[in-house]
Structure 1
Amino acid sequence: MQYKWVALSNTTLGVLMATINGTITIISLPAIFRGIGINPLAPTSFQYLLWILLGYNVVTASLLLSFGRLSDIYGRVRLYNLGFVIFTVGSILLSMTFGTGDVAALQLVLFRIIQGIGGAFLMANSAAILTDVFPLNERGRALGINQVAALAGSLIGLILGGILSVIDWRYVFLVNVPVGVFGTLWSYLKLKETSQRVGEGIDLVGNVVYALGLTLVLIGVTYALMPYGNSETGWGNPSVLASLISGLALLASFPYIETKVRYPMFRMELFKIRLFTAANFAGFLRSVGYGGLMIMIVIFLQGIWLPLHGYSFSSTPFWAGIYTIPLMLGFVSAGPVSGWLSDKFGSRGLATAGMLIVGAGFLALSTLPYDFSYPVFGSIIFMIGVGNGMFASPNTSSIMSSVPAKHRGAASGMRSTLQNTGQTVSIAIFFTIVILSLSSSLGPSISNALVQAGAPQLASYVSRVPVTGALFAAFLGYDPVKTILTSLPPSVVSQIPSSVIQLIEQRTWFPQAIAPSFMSAMREAFYFGALLSFIAAVTSAMRGKTKILEEVVQYDAEKKRN
């Protein structure tokens, strides 16, 4: 077997493992939190949801650039192999989480961060390893296969998460271990270093400034989603503002620092390449506009749509995974084809058309009622998946082909950093839009539902449930009305007819009560996703057709020899 196919199969396994981990965690969060006994209405609980979702991305986004640069110096395969080891150790620790409540939740966050470090090593180097070993005319196809594996992993994660979380939530993390052990052994035995080593030192100042600045910004964005005082969000929290301002100040100083240090980690000269710049920013905009879609859809399906259609909360993770399959199938069907076509016709047209399709898909989602017809919903998310598949492979291929070979590690790290940062910011923005929208509509929606049920005296009590608590409770299949009823004075409860209490304690009553306001909030998030997708399409169209001269010369020479 030619070495390039060995490299492709191994890096594909790494991508598969990382993406299985991503969706299997999202789909299994209700079972995980129920397993460790988290009360969604407790003031500190929502932060655990955020950190288990975002902690992994915060770490990877902060470290990808540094790791990409280190791989240029010390070898891509060496650091890639180390990533397999660390990721596997993190998975083992997650499956061994002990205790309950806050203690267990903090352990989960810490072990997810360890996983994120391993994931950063894997993501920073996989595309660069493939670019090193595949010639120009096969690169798009190879990266397309890699992208398909990523979406196949996402699809497998959705289904596995639904099945394993019903058996035992620890299996959700344990399932990564056999793949990680096999991948670790295979990478150490089979992969060999083919990259051009850069004989330079480490940019210590740049690494610290960039990682600290980005971490502060992402931490600030994350805690901005937590309630502060009388506000449903924390954007006015002095600690959040201090974190954001200091982080942005450090990031603003970073380009200047990189022009002064001897061995910069961030190759500012790469942004002189039009193709590199346009494709990277198109990818960043796509991540910001699209990154929060999956978690929003999963929360809505598990917390509202599936219970309203007769599914028990214990089974909603599995069915949410099944019902989101069209999104993955769309990507898988378009990814390889778009990669192959980009090798022949270039990336600009395919990538631009893909983002236009995604934007149209977001607008189509905004027209749906909360009790939508599934065939219509499935068709729309399939279309969004196709658009993403058309964009991802050509865009990655054009970025990696646009830079000199000696800078591919840095370029891969820069691309992955922008992508992961965009995804983290996207989740935070989607949550912010939904929370702010719900803050004005959720209370009246629940109050109206109580009046219609015949229990207007409960309206003032139930409407006090924080938006984040209601959102988290719906996601976990937790009914806050029952908790509130048990905490009320007997004199208040005695005024409510037993038939009314039976009605509002039904599994479907709370999802039905919050569904109209939640769907209205989702529409605002969909409008945001559409706007960013269309801007990404414009940016993508500006990439031009420039290729690095040394690559074109090498390709022409290979054609003449063959």
Structure 2
Amino acid sequence: MKTTPIPETGTVSAKKGIDYKWIVLSITTIEMFMVSVNGSITLISLPAIFNGINIDPLSSFQYLIWVLMGYSLVTATLLLSCGRLSDMYGRVKLYNIGFAIFTLGSILLFLTPDKGSAGALEIIAFRLVQAVGASFTFSNSAAILTDAFPPDERGKALGLNTIAFLSGQFVGLILGGILAFYNWRYVFLVSVPVGILGTIWAYFKLKETPLPKRARKIDIWGNITFVAGLTILLIGITYALLPYGNASMGWGDPWVISAIIGGILLLAAFPLIESRVEDPMFRLNLFKIRVFSLANTAGFLSALARGGMMFILILMLQGIWLPLHGYSYESTPFWAGIFMLPLTAGFVIMGPLSGWLSDKYGSRWFATSGLLLIALSFMMLAALPYNFEYPIFAIALLVMGIGNGMFGSPNVAAIMNSVPPEDRGVASGMRSMLQNSGMVISMALFFTIVIVSLTQLFPPELATSLTSAGAAGLIGPMSSIPPTGALFAAFLGYNPVHTILVTLPQTVVAAISPATIATLTGTTWFPTTLAYAFMPSVRISFYIGALLSVIAAALSAMTGSRFVHEMHMKREGKTEESPEIVEDTSLDITG
């Protein structure tokens, strides 16, 4: 692996040729595109995948939770360790390894041998393999880009990278709808050639940036404490969403309580350990940099606000709005993706533009304004009825997309600009870890709110609706529908009522008139019944998202004017080997 001395700007572009930075951007763009396609194509193809492995939708909640959250759980726990290892052994080296591991996971998913519960567990395990690879690439892509681009172009580069990620989401929705029609395995195969190309290209084209030599050691106790603490905590939260005994959720499960308490205690011990070990993997002293501290906190709160938002919106579309407007349950996953496109459009419009402008004028007001727009969009969504007018919904999504685009790349650029070059790997890992942890906690929080609401409101609403439809005789049999099973059956593209009716004794079904059966299995009865139980929790979730976004905006506004570590060190006459971490948020280098 070739190395090149660090030029005065702290980047590698000046010494490796003017085109090298664009090579770096193209390789990281391929990686972001591939990971994004994989995420959206899996989400939109879950009905075909679960059908393909013969999983009952009403008993698949535990598998669905792990397919959706297992990937984020692994990346959240590994990102910090991967960032530290990258600073020790080379960012490019571990980035390339991650690319290869992610591609291997895609191949294993395509080859999933079994069906039923065994097949579901294999898909979850192979998704975790992908997550290990993604941890290496996520923790290094922003650092490699920051190394390659000068300070006045980093926001633009990160913005273009964001465009690739969002474009991948759109392409994944379309590809998922097409490929799943032919064979569910194709949705995993599609990323294999892209992964192989990216792995080979990255191996031959990316150049390792030498960093100041330090006596670094692997932080064994820090790694054990952090990985064990976060893993145990997130697993406990995940299992709390599953039924326990006669309860619809597992918050009373002694194992869940023990896992959450144990995870919190280990995480509480983590900063104490890191403040005492010789060479910590979590650089607490980086938080002395005001921009780094506030921008990371704002990023965490933003992730906490929006992490569960996508699933809430998709559940609202697939379970209620699309069936009410005549779309078959089988087609709702695909059309939900299409109707969510204003969100992607807002990202695409503002992602690169805000990155470019933040290079010139600083990130503070772009990031702050973006978060306020996100808060506004949450309030707009909270005000909508369940049978909303789509243009209003689309405007709210567009505002949210624009807000996230204004916040995303300027916030990342501010974080990466604020740290010394030799700490960019661990800083990128810390940033990604905080955001991924926020996403996982957000999904668990919003799922909990939804499930609690459904458990309390769905049974009486179901009984009332059955009586109004002239099917009071079905109240007893239909009361066995688990609220979560009904909701996620709709999410997976099934008509839950039809699925329940085929399992009931024929004598029970025969007592109901054909007209009533047609009403119950149509596209309007169940969504209307579900809406009254589902929408109160949706509004609570959106209000929480708005509040978190406002708090994040306040923190973002406090970051001060633009701060770039290399330029500050140069003006202060210090060298990169200086052991201290310095900040000067009053420094203005926007000129």
- Give the TM-score taking structure 2 as reference length: 0.91
Map of 1:504 onto structure 2: 520
Cα distance between partner residues in 2 of 1:6 and 1:554: 28
Shift, 1:555, TM fit: 9.1
Cα distance between partner residues in 1 of 2:570 and 2:467: 74
Question: 1:334 aligned to 350, 355, 362, which one?
Answer: 350
Map of 2:76 onto structure 1: 61
Q: Residue 194 of structure 2: SS of its match in structure 1?
A: helix
Cα distance between partner residues in 2 of 1:422 and 1:308: 33
Q: Residue 496 of structure 1: SS of its match in structure 2?
A: coil
Structure 1 alignment gaps of length 5 or more: 558-562
Q: Residue 260 of structure 1: SS of its match in structure 2?
A: coil
- Aligned pairs for 1:188-337 within 5 A: 188-196=203-211, 198-337=214-353
Map of 1:142 onto structure 2: 157
Please say if 1:29 is aligned against 2:64.
no
1:484–1:324 distance in 2 versus 1, CA, 3 Å: closer
Please say if 1:376 is aligned against 2:392.
yes
Shift, 1:118, TM fit: 0.3
Q: Residue 57 of structure 2: SS of its match in structure 1?
A: coil
Please say if 1:11 is aligned against 2:39.
no
Cα distance between partner residues in 2 of 1:490 and 1:108: 36
1:494–1:55 distance in 2 versus 1, CA, 3 Å: same
Shift, 1:135, TM fit: 1.0
Whether the 8 Å contact between 1:133 and 1:194 is mirrored in structure 2 is no
Cα distance between partner residues in 1 of 2:496 and 2:345: 36
Cα distance between partner residues in 1 of 2:562 and 2:389: 45
Please say if 1:400 is aligned against 2:399.
no
1:195–1:225 distance in 2 versus 1, CA, 3 Å: farther
Map of 2:13 onto structure 1: none
Map of 2:56 onto structure 1: 39
Question: 1:131 aligned to 146, 162, 169, which one?
Answer: 146
Question: 2:108 aligned to 93, 98, 113, which one?
Answer: 93
Deviations 1:98-119 (A, max 9, x none): 2221011000100000000000
Shift, 1:497, TM fit: 2.2
The residue identity in structure 2 corresponding to 1:442 is F
Cα distance between partner residues in 1 of 2:241 and 2:528: 25
Whether the 8 Å contact between 2:330 and 2:494 is mirrored in structure 1 is no
Deviations 1:412-442 (A, max 9, x none): 0000000111111111111111111111111
Shift, 1:143, TM fit: 1.2
Cα distance between partner residues in 2 of 1:444 and 1:195: 65
Map of 1:560 onto structure 2: none
Shift, 1:314, TM fit: 2.8
- Aligned pairs for 1:435-474 within 5 A: 435-474=451-490
Please say if 1:181 is aligned against 2:199.
no
Question: 1:365 aligned to 381, 384, 387, which one?
Answer: 381
Shift, 1:53, TM fit: 0.4
Whether the 8 Å contact between 1:363 and 1:530 is mirrored in structure 2 is yes
Whether the 8 Å contact between 1:59 and 1:116 is mirrored in structure 2 is yes
Whether the 8 Å contact between 1:162 and 1:321 is mirrored in structure 2 is no
Deviations 1:287-336 (A, max 9, x none): 00001111222222223222222222332222122111110110110011
Map of 2:90 onto structure 1: 75
Whether the 8 Å contact between 1:330 and 1:384 is mirrored in structure 2 is yes
Map of 1:158 onto structure 2: 173
RMSD: 1.7
Shift, 1:173, TM fit: 1.0
Aligned length: 555
Shift, 1:195, TM fit: 4.3
Cα distance between partner residues in 2 of 1:96 and 1:479: 29
Deviations 1:266-298 (A, max 9, x none): 111001111100000000000000011112222
Cα distance between partner residues in 2 of 1:305 and 1:79: 45
The residue identity in structure 2 corresponding to 1:77 is V
The residue identity in structure 2 corresponding to 1:100 is K
The residue identity in structure 2 corresponding to 1:129 is I
Whether the 8 Å contact between 1:12 and 1:146 is mirrored in structure 2 is yes
Structure 2 alignment gaps of length 5 or more: 1-17, 574-591
My pick for the range that moved more, 412-421 or 141-150, is 141-150
Whether the 8 Å contact between 2:417 and 2:565 is mirrored in structure 1 is no
Cα distance between partner residues in 1 of 2:513 and 2:109: 46
Shift, 1:144, TM fit: 1.3
Cα distance between partner residues in 1 of 2:210 and 2:417: 14
Shift, 1:473, TM fit: 1.3
Cα distance between partner residues in 1 of 2:549 and 2:234: 22
Deviations 1:60-114 (A, max 9, x none): 0100000000000000000000011000000011111122210110001000000
Shift, 1:491, TM fit: 4.7
Shift, 1:131, TM fit: 0.9
Map of 1:476 onto structure 2: 492
Map of 1:421 onto structure 2: 437
Deviations 1:474-507 (A, max 9, x none): 1123233334434444554343223222321234
Displaced runs of 4+ in structure 1, greater than 4 A? 553-557
Identity %: 56
The residue identity in structure 2 corresponding to 1:353 is S
1:57–1:400 distance in 2 versus 1, CA, 3 Å: same
Cα distance between partner residues in 1 of 2:210 and 2:477: 64
